[in-house]
Amino acid sequence: MILETSRLRIREISESDLDNLCEMLADEKVMEFSVNGPMSKPQTLDFINWCQSSYNDHGIGPWALVSKIDGAFIGFAGLSKEFIDGVEEIHIGYRLARKYWNKGFATEAVSSIVDYGLSRNDQNRIYAIIEPEHCSSIRVIEKAGFNISKQTKFHEKLTNIYVKSNLQDCSFSA
């Protein structure tokens, strides 16, 4: 286990999550703001393999969110490396199965994971990349203490770049 919150266990994603991830990542509404769009079973298996490689190579990646009450797979959230305007940065990503929307799970997970990330000695800032139309995701990030830094193109789409920092000087170089 990576972390625990009041309602969630946060752990590495494994192949045992394949069926739950397939159902979630094939949902057009869940994947509406994804660069990849809805995913097939082979694409989902590739995603799991990528997550495991990220854990091995960087010690971070998207992590499974599991309910402490009933053990249900809720979705994933985690830190990973991403290029923003040509600079490799750590960013938070998250996706929840639709039946768990609007229950505070995303904010709970994101807040805990970002605090965890910022407590690492080598990490002073974490970014979030969100399309301006994705209002629910913007609310999650703002509740987690992020501030908008700029707008830029990401995978050919206009996106807002949000940042949360543990530095006293809040002038960002992104």
Q: Per-residue pLDDT tens for 132-151? A: 999 999 999 999 999 999 99
Range of the structural domain that residue 142 is part of: 3-165
pLDDT of residue 6: 97
Q: What is the mean pLDDT of the chain?
A: 94
Dihedral sign computed on CA atoms, order 136, 163, 93, 105: negative
pTM: 0.93
Q: Is residue 21 part of a domain?
A: yes
Q: Is residue 62 part of a domain?
A: yes
Helix axes 105-119, 135-143, angle to 10 degrees: 50
Task: Check which CATH number belongs to the domain holding 142 and give it.
Answer: 3.40.630.30
- pLDDT tens across 13-61, in order? 999 999 999 999 999 999 999 988 999 999 999 999 999 999 999 999 9
State the Cα–Cα distance between residues 62 and 155, nearest whole angstrom: 19
Sheet holding 125-130, edge to edge: 3-4, 8-12, 62-67, 73-84, 87-96, 125-130, 157-165, 147-154
State the Cα–Cα distance between residues 16 and 45, nearest whole angstrom: 11
Q: Is residue 174 part of a domain?
A: no
Q: Is residue 173 part of a domain?
A: no
Q: Is residue 172 part of a domain?
A: no
Query: How many independent structural domains does the chain possess?
Result: 1
Q: Is residue 49 part of a domain?
A: yes
Q: Is residue 155 part of a domain?
A: yes
Q: Is residue 131 part of a domain?
A: yes
Q: Does pLDDT of 3 surpass 80? A: yes
